[in-house]
Structure 1
Amino acid sequence: MILGIGTDLANIDRIARVLERHGDRFRNRVFTDIEQAKAERRLDTPGTYAKRWAAKEACSKALGTGLRMGIAWKDMAVSNLPTGQPVMHLTGWAAERLAAMTPPGHAAVVHVTLTDDHPWAQAFVVIEARPLHIPET
């Protein structure tokens, strides 16, 4: 069952200007060390940050809160599997919210996909509740 869906569209040039203006202050407030390391290794550093910004916004919408109610930017983080597939990790209040919205007898799975086509970066997040036990027929 679907618990939440969120999407966000971020302007890569806007994120580049914020990075130029606020540098480490912005990076350290919004992105985890893993996210920063990934972005700084990429040729399109602003695009990588913009996709992760969009993922955090989309995740907060899928959680039904937006960026309020105690969710911190770093409570939602994107990393990548060895295949390149993005994976969303929730900690802190975001993880608490996810647990509260997950029905008993289910496990929550957060799906995320990212894309960009300059000057836009986009993310979709779908939160799914999967039954822990599948009934026998």
Structure 2
Amino acid sequence: MIVGVGVDLVDVARFERSLERTPRLIERLFAPGERGLPVRSLAARFAAKEALIKAVGHSTEFRWHDMEVVSDAERNPGFALTGGVAAALAELGADRVHLSMTHDGGHAVAFVVAERDAG
């Protein structure tokens, strides 16, 4: 059963300008394992985090590092969730979070579905 859906779109050039104006944003928004990626990949990860917030329905007690975007052995994206984010998902009863990301034509998009077993 789906308990939350979120989508977000990021303009990569605008995101890059924000990072140039405020270099510490990278440390604030991204866990150490996410840093050092190309700007388009960082923009997609930022979109993923924003989409997750929308899927949950709030961001109370969320921290950016509590929703690290990781890849599995087949390079499929997902989240390593901790802290307030994990607690909010547990409160929703969500036991799975699906993530899809892409970047093309100067934009990055992410789509998140949170679901729980129907039983």
Aligned with residue 121 of structure 1, among 96, 104, 108:
108
**How far has the Cα of 1:72 moved from its partner?**
1.4
The aligned counterpart of 1:22 is 22
Please say if 1:80 is aligned against 2:71.
yes
What TM-score do the two structures reach when normalised by structure 1?
A: 0.82
Higher relative contact order (CA 8 A, sep 6+): 2
Query: Which stretch has the larger CA shift, 112-121 or 82-91?
Result: 82-91
* Structure 2 residue ranges without an equivalent (≥5): none
**How far has the Cα of 1:76 moved from its partner?**
1.0
Amino acid at match of 1:51: A
Q: Displaced runs of 4+ in structure 1, greater than 3 A?
A: none
What do residues 82-132 of structure 1 show as CA deviations (whole Å, max 9, x unaligned)?
322101121110101011110xxxx6100000011121100000001025x
Q: Any idea what SS the aligned residue of 2:7 has?
A: strand
Q: Any idea what SS the aligned residue of 2:116 has?
A: strand
Cα separation, 1, equivalents of 2:47 and 2:2? 20
Amino acid at match of 2:17: R
The aligned counterpart of 2:9 is 9
| Matched residue count | 119
* Structure 1 residue ranges without an equivalent (≥5): 40-44
Amino acid at match of 2:100: T
| 1:38-117 map, 5 Å | 39=37, 45-65=38-58, 68-102=59-93, 108-117=95-104
Cα separation, 1, equivalents of 2:2 and 2:112? 11
Cα separation, 1, equivalents of 2:105 and 2:18? 16
Q: What percentage of residue pairs aligned between the two structures are identical?
A: 39
Q: Any idea what SS the aligned residue of 2:96 has?
A: strand
Higher-Rg structure is 1
The aligned counterpart of 2:32 is 33
What do residues 51-83 of structure 1 show as CA deviations (whole Å, max 9, x unaligned)?
000000000000111xx3121111111011132
Output the aligned Cα RMSD.
Answer: 1.4
The aligned counterpart of 1:42 is none
Amino acid at match of 2:76: Q
Amino acid at match of 2:101: L
